Each structure stands twice: as C-alpha cells, then as structure tokens.
Amino acid sequence: MNIGIDMMGGDFAPQEAVNGIFLHLQANTSEVNIFCIGDEVIINSLFKEHNISSPYLHLVHASEVIGYHEHPTKAFKEKPNSSISIGFHLLATGKIDAFISAGNTGAMLVGAMFMIKTIEGVFRPTVSGILPKMNGGDGILVDAGLNSDCKPEQLNQFAVLGSLYAQYIYNVDNPKVGLVNIGEEEGKGNLISQATYPLLKENNHINFIGNIEGRDLFNDKADVMVSDGFTGNIILKMAESVYDIMVAKNLQDDVYFNRFHYENYGGSPVLGVNKPVIIGHGISSAKAFKNMIAIAIKMIDTDLCGKIKESFKPTA
C-alpha cells in the first residue's frame, strides 16, 4: 500500500505533516509506504531533527509549491514541479494508491477531476463533512462545500456516495438518508428540495427516511444528510465552531463536544473520483495528518472507489 502526502501544503507545513507521520508510525505497524512529496532538503532535515526514520518512508522531491492564493487551474498547469502536481502524477500513474494534501483546495480539486477523473456515471464529485451524533456515532454530511449550486439529480447521487462512505468507512449498516430541509413534510422546501425528494424516494440504492430539519443533525434520525454545498458548508463550519466556543469558554467535555474538533476526522475525501484523494484543512495539525492517513488506508483496504464504480455501473 502506497500513500502520497503533500508535505508543503498547509499553514504549518511541513512541520505538522512530519509530526503527523511520526504519530502514524508510532500507532501503525502495518506495511504502509508513505511517499513524502516536497522539498527534500527541508523534509530530510526535519526527519533527522526529530529522529524519524523508517523503511516505509520515501522522499519525492518537489521544487515548487502552489500557494493558497494562486489561481488553481493556472497554478496547476504552470507549476508541474509542485508538490500537488507531482502527487497527482504519482497517483494517476499508479505509483501511489492515495493522495493527501492540506494545501490549495482548488488545485486539489483540479487535479482530482482532470487527472484522476470522475467515475463514469457520476455527474459531480462531492466532499463530505462529519457531524458528531449524541449517541456516539458520526453523521455524514454531503455536500460539505464543493458544489454550491446543485441540481436534483446531483443531490440524488450525493445520497448514494454518502451512503457508501458511511457503510464502508464508518461501518454503518444500511445507513439512513435524510434530505436537509425546513420541514419534515414531503412538499416542504425550495424548488430544488421539492424536486429532489421524489428522486430520493424512488432510489432503491439508498435507505431514504424523508426530510430532516436542523434540529435533527446531531441525533440519530439520519446517518447521511444530503444538502447543496452552500448550505452544507454553513452547517459544517457552524458545527466546527462549537469546539472553538468550548475552548474560549474554558469548558471541558471529552465525551461529546471535543468530538467537534476537525482534527479528529483528518480531512474530507473527494467522493466520486477514480482514486482516493483526501483534502485537509489548511490549519491541519499533526493529529489531523495522522487521521488523514488512516482514512486513506481504510479507503484502500475497503476499495471504496471500486464499490462506487460498481454502484454507478449502467444497468443492462
């Protein structure tokens, strides 16, 4: 198993990526090769400084970095020696099985869609967010910000992608799917919601339970919550702010509210592309990098992308 990491992506790169790899090596004894993509002089120096060495670590030099404020498509084309571009080249050519970055999100999406490409039959990929449930489980929110404007057919597919993710990565059997809306009744919502409801209702690939409201997001009513990316991103950022409020108020709750910290979930996989691509927060910490590696391992182990391809195969 080979996993590539953009060591130069993130506000605290490459130090936190190095620290995250160290945490992974401490906790993981399986034979997972980590390809560290970035400035080999800087990365090698940090590995030596922190006494990190392993036969499973491999340095891949990248002389360029795509910054956060660069135009994604332009930078991807004009910086072929960037850590993101090289990472996608390795993934596209089969040298690595998954690629992780906390760098320029737009460039990661450009690479995912134009080098790895969307799975046949998928209209648009989606990214998921995690909402901690009060019962200890995790809810999957799709879309969490990739697609601000959506068509009903796309939301219908997000439900399938989110269900497969919940089933194979979070071990949820027959996940319950709810459509985020302003009321429970079938006729509620805007035109998009009203047009999406019957598609979800007729979709025999999912376990659709109807509309869910904002007050249902953290209970056990649904395992997969379907929304356009505009609404979904607002929900996700609001949920993440709960942890910040706790810290500001000096409150401690290891049982529930600490689970709202983004680093517990690592990053968000791009669901609907041919190979595992995982995008992390720009502020990703060592723990976040460690958990992104864990998600990548599980996506490879379960062949999630293969399961998605099978689900979207055209029927005879």
- 267 in a domain, yes or no? no
Per-residue model confidence as pLDDT tens digits over 96-153: 999 999 999 999 999 999 999 999 999 999 999 999 999 989 999 999 988 889 999 9
Do 172 and 83 belong together in one domain?
Answer: no
Do 279 and 227 belong together in one domain?
Answer: no
CATH number at residue 207: 3.40.718.10
End-of-domain residue from the set 217, 234, 262: 262
Do 254 and 276 belong together in one domain?
Answer: no
- 205 in a domain, yes or no? yes
Give the chain's largest Cα–Cα span: 62
- The side-by-side arrangement of strands in the sheet containing 138-142 is 57-61, 33-38, 2-6, 98-101, 277-280, 267-271, 126-132, 138-142, 224-226, 176-180, 207-212
Do 43 and 28 belong together in one domain?
Answer: yes
Do 186 and 209 belong together in one domain?
Answer: yes
Q: Please give the tally of structural domains in the chain.
A: 2
- 69 in a domain, yes or no? yes
Do 138 and 251 belong together in one domain?
Answer: yes
Per-residue model confidence as pLDDT tens digits over 173-205: 999 999 999 999 888 999 999 999 999 999 999
pLDDT > 70? residue 316: no
- 315 in a domain, yes or no? yes
Domain range holding 199? 123-262
Do 136 and 248 belong together in one domain?
Answer: yes
Buried b (16+ CB within 10 A) or exposed e, 168-190: bbbebeebbbbbbbeeeeeebbe
Do 116 and 150 belong together in one domain?
Answer: no
- 186 in a domain, yes or no? yes
Q: What does pTM read for this prediction?
A: 0.91
Do 130 and 244 belong together in one domain?
Answer: yes
In which band, very low, low, confident or very high, does the pLDDT at 259 lie, cut at 50, 70 and 90?
A: confident
End-of-domain residue from the set 216, 234, 262: 262
